Amino acid sequence: MRLDGRHLSERIYDSLKRRHSAERRFRAMGLGAVGLALLALFTLFGTLGLKGFEAIEQTAITLDVTFDPAVIDPAGTRDPVIMAQADYLGLVKSALRDQFPEVTERSDKKELNQLISSGASFELQDLVASDPTLIGLTRPVALIASDDVDMAVKKGIDRSTPSDSRRLSDKQLDWLALLKQRDRLNVQFNTRFFTMGDSREPELAGILGAFMGSLLSLGVCFLMSFPLAVLAAVYLEEFAPKNRWTDLIEVNINNLAAVPSIVFGLLGLAFFLNVLVLPRSAPLVGGMVLALMTLPTMIISSRVALKAVPPSIRQAALAIGASPIQTVGHHVLPLAMPGIMTGTIIGMARALGETAPLLMIGMVAFIVDIPKSFVDPATALPVQIFLWADSPERAFEERTAAAILVLLVFLVCMNAIAVILRRKFEIKW
């Protein structure tokens, strides 16, 4: 049946109307998906930020500490060894009892001493070591409070809750109230979180040891994987003949890129630790395992960057007499380097967040000291987060959130560097 012009225009108009409606629905669904993703991201960062912000604040109790020469340096020699062996914890307890002279019962004294962290004595030791002129004087010193006191000050405690369900007794809460009235109880910036290693006590635990372990492991990973990945990509893309062997190599590289990371951890455990007998829980071994894990990904990204260089560059270099090696080294590789570096940084960012392979080689150990070399015992940021999340103390929850924020900031910085490098050095053809 033949349609006249009016009916045909109506059908075209209805078809365009349905098409535009479908496009608007599709655009709305896309915007909704993006909005949900951003909402989930902001919720994640907001939750971690609110909880992690509490970790960068620490409660301190100011006490008038008497640096008794009879306790610190009886002979008056100012020998650092003798001063380091002094009973600083006794000085802390004496200063705390001076604030509450009415506390005389032994059980009450024990509860009173629990308000101060066990690490307060090390603070006094560091003060005397840095300034021996304090010996014989009485000075107000802000000493770190225990984790229970810190949580009570930050979050508060409901007195209606039965004492058996609380970490602090009624007497301890009364003493804290008196300290607050006397302006002896303050919340200050927690520098220990960024300058100290791990600890069994939440108020003394820091992230620096794990951060340095991750940094050293990534350094080893980069030094091992980047040259090998670039050389392998250049050979496979520019010089290798296309035959059955190169096809087999390419298939294996693609398969290795999809292997679970824990398999590389098992390989590191079996070869690096059991065969080569390298030090366990060291950034050297961790970096080697991460290098094996990221090497296939780096090779693939490097090959893609080399393919992106126009063939005319190679042809022009060869036409003026350059050898194949000169063509690749002087022309192709420099032009592909932004893409290679981008893929490398993304691979390193993936390695930074890996936990399973590091657990297999023993980097889950409790390490207090901050590593200074590639063979020192160390842990890594993801492993430290795993350890803190598994701890029963409530104060470790906020430190876990803060450590996650540090790891996320590290990852965001690495990805931002990759984007900046690509935009700065990328050449559009």
- CA 20 from chain centre, in angstroms, equals 48
Structural domains of the chain, ranges and CATH numbers in brackets: 54-190 (no CATH), 208-425 (1.10.3720.10)
What's residue 1's pLDDT?
45
- CA 371 from chain centre, in angstroms, equals 15
DSSP class of 279: P
Place of tokens 């984790």: 147
CB–CB of 347/290 below 8 Å?
A: no
Distance CA 199, CA 104 (A): 32
Residue (of 304, 305, 330) closest to 426 by Cα position: 305
CB–CB of 376/221 below 8 Å?
A: no
Residue 103 has phi, psi (to 5 degrees) of: -80, 110
What's residue 216's pLDDT?
93
What's residue 159's pLDDT?
72
What's residue 429's pLDDT?
54
Q: Would you give the end-to-end CA distance of the chain in angstroms?
A: 54
Ranges of residues in the chain whose predicted pLDDT is under 50: 1, 3
- CA 342 from chain centre, in angstroms, equals 21
What's residue 4's pLDDT?
53
Q: In this predicted model, what pLDDT tens digit does every residue of 280-302 receive, in sequence order?
A: 889 999 999 999 999 999 999 99
Distance CA 371, CA 281 (A): 11
CB–CB of 344/232 below 8 Å?
A: no
CB–CB of 128/143 below 8 Å?
A: no
Place of tokens 């001076």: 98
Handedness of CA 94, 95, 98, 104 (dihedral sign): negative
Q: In this predicted model, what pLDDT tens digit does every residue of 96-144 receive, in sequence order?
A: 999 988 988 888 889 999 999 988 888 899 999 998 888 888 999 999 9
